[in-house]
Every structure is written in structure tokens, then in C-alpha cells.
Amino acid sequence: MLRPTLLALLAPAVPLAAQTPPCLAANDATSVASGAITSYGFAGENSFAWQVTPAAGLVVQAARVFTANTTLTGDRFMALELRDDQGGAPGARLGGGAWQISNARPAAWQGCNLDQLVVLQPNVPVWLVWIEPGFSQPMTEPGGLTTLPYQTRSGTGSWTAQTPNAPKFRLYCSQLDDVGSVPHGLGCPLSTGWFPTAFTNEAPQLGNTDFFFETSGNPAGAAVFAVLGWDPNFTSTAVTGLPPSCLQHTDALAAVLLAAGTGNTRGPTFAGHAALAFPIPNDPSLSGVFFAMQAAAFDAGAASPLPFGTSNAHRITLY
């Protein structure tokens, strides 16, 4: 971890930008949400699915839902998937991702980048699937304006149709960003066909000691290097030994070795996910300081001389 004395040497970076609007959303105009919590499914993690039919073609790269889980302790996770429609029920997985629950985070918009670019066709239904470990606030709005067909399942059981309700979700045709927090570049495909991604659900605010970077879409159980940089003008560069699409998107000030998880949303790890704690001191002199993180995952099935896949970089500017 870099010390605050080193952080203070960095120059202010780029101006802060606002969050990119979603390209498809429902019931996201308010913070009104269910006050209930989900059950703890003894057959395994819980899955909730809503049938979404876009009016226009979209290429979805990320998703957020409005939820919280302040009940369970330890490392727990949530996941989102887009699945095709098969006979009016969720079918094959088109893409997805996972993020780590922060018990300090109240009900808020949170989510992940997807490990595939998911192409949605006009008027062709797909299913948005939210997977959670139990005791979470449902991502629904009582009396919400937009109600959608709704199904549930426990563990890997069969899907069961329920009364339609009003999910609170946002799909993005870009990777996750927010104030002072933006993606840079794209990841490259692994031998699994997935793309590793880097993102955060935390605000890079001074005094946010709970801040952490996340990466998902990596091979389960793989070694993952979290590469940290501090040059806002770094130009994405090809790396000798990697496939041409696997670019270096940040300078390499430091690298931290992580391990991608192998579990499910119940924890203590999630398959393909890793996190890097990055507590931000409450020091006004750090306002405007820039950092970037990029993940490089070992890919045992890669045919390249360097058997790694790289994610996008995620850039933050402290404020």
C-alpha cells in the first residue's frame, strides 16, 4: 500500500466528471426501495430475474442495481447476469460480473462491469438476473412505475414465475464510472472467452478508508496482478509477448499479487473476482491526486508467450 507521504507528492490530475447516464433503466428516478430483506436460501444463493425487452439495439457493458446488504458479515458478494430468453424463462448466460458487498455501504446504486459485450436486439427479450447471498434489500420499488415479468430460483433449481414487480436497475453502454472515477481502455479476451474488468463502487473521497478497487471476469483461482499507476497522461501500449489486443493501460508504479476467487456470493470468495483495499486518508492536500489500477490475470489456457489477460484500467481522482 502506498503511504500518504508518497500520495502527497502527486500533482492534481483531470477535472472531475459526472456519471454517464444508463442506456436502459427502470424505476431509477428515486431512492424509494423495498424495506424488506431477502430470505437466506438453504438450497444455496438466491437468484431473481426480470424480463427486459429493449426498444432499440444496445451493446451493454455494465449494470447497476439499487440494493444493500448490511446484515451479513465477512466477505460476501452480489452478481448480475444477462441471460437470453428460452421459453419465457432465463436461458443461456450472455455476460455478467460480480462485486463485493461493503457492510458500510447503505442502500445505493452498485454493480459491476460485464465480462462480455452483450448485444441486445430491438424487441427481443432478455433476462436481468440478480444473484445474492441472502438477507439483502430487494432491488425493487413498491408501487414503481415500470413492472416487469419476474422469476426466482434458489441455488441451481428451476425458475419459478412470480407476480410481476418493479425492479430498480440501470444498464450502461459503457463501463462503470462516477464522479472522480472513470474507466480507461478495454480488456482483452481470455481463453475462457471472458474479458477481465476493473471497476469500483466506492467514491474516491478524502477520508473514505473503505475504498477498494475490484476486478472480475478472471479465471477462477488464478493469480491476478493489480498494477497501480499515477500518470494521467499514460498512453495505452502494446506489451511484447501478449496478444495485440491485450494493452497496458497504466504506468506500473507498483503491482500487488492477488488471487481470483473460486466460490459464490456466499463467500468467502467469488469465482474470478479479486479486490484491492485502497484506504484514502482524510488529508486535504491529497485533493486532485490521481491513481489508476489495471488487472493482469494468469490465463493457463493462453497460447501467447506471456499467458496473461489484461483488464481495462480504472482511474480515480481524489476529491
pLDDT score for 12: 42
pLDDT score for 209: 97
Q: How many CB atoms lie within 10 A of CB 103?
A: 14
Flag whether the pTM goes above 0.85.
yes
Structure confidence by residue, pLDDT tens digits, 59-108: 999 999 999 999 999 999 999 999 999 999 999 999 999 999 998 899 99
Same domain, 103 and 219: no
Same domain, 201 and 153: no
Q: Which residues, other chains included, contact 233 with Cβ-Cβ below 8 Å and sequence gap of 6+?
A: none
pLDDT score for 121: 98
Domain boundary among 122, 148, 172: 172
Encoded amino acid at 224, one letter: V
Same domain, 280 and 165: no
**Radius of gyration (Cα) for the chain, nearest Å?**
19
Structure confidence by residue, pLDDT tens digits, 14-58: 457 778 999 999 999 999 999 999 999 888 999 999 999 999 999
Number of domains in the chain: 2
Same domain, 154 and 36: yes
DSSP 221-248: T-EEEEEEE--TTPPPEE-TTS-TT-EE
Q: What is the CATH number of the domain that holds 112?
A: 2.60.120
Same domain, 258 and 185: yes
Domain boundary among 172, 193, 210: 172
Domain boundary among 107, 140, 172: 172
pLDDT score for 167: 98
Q: How confident is the model at residue 1 (pLDDT cuts 50, 70, 90)?
A: very low
Same domain, 191 and 72: no
Query: Is the predicted pLDDT of residue 220 greater than 90, yes or no?
Result: yes
Look-up of cell digits 502494446 = 238
For 34, phi then psi, to 5°, come to -60, 140
Q: What is the CATH number of the domain that holds 229?
A: 2.60.40.1940
Average pLDDT, the chain: 94
Same domain, 131 and 157: yes
Query: Is the predicted pLDDT of residue 9 greater than 50, yes or no?
Result: no
Q: Name the grid cell of 79.
A: 452478481
pLDDT score for 15: 57
Q: Which residues, other chains included, contact 21 with Cβ-Cβ below 8 Å and sequence gap of 6+?
A: none
Same domain, 132 and 224: no
Structure confidence by residue, pLDDT tens digits, 46-63: 999 999 999 999 999 999
Same domain, 194 and 270: yes
Which residues constitute the domain of residue 34? Answer: 24-172
Structure confidence by residue, pLDDT tens digits, 221-239: 999 999 999 999 999 999 9
Same domain, 190 and 280: yes
Same domain, 131 and 33: yes
**Average pLDDT over every residue of 193-197:** 97
CA 305 vs. chain centroid, Å, equals 29
Same domain, 205 and 157: no
Q: How confident is the model at residue 4 (pLDDT cuts 50, 70, 90)?
A: very low
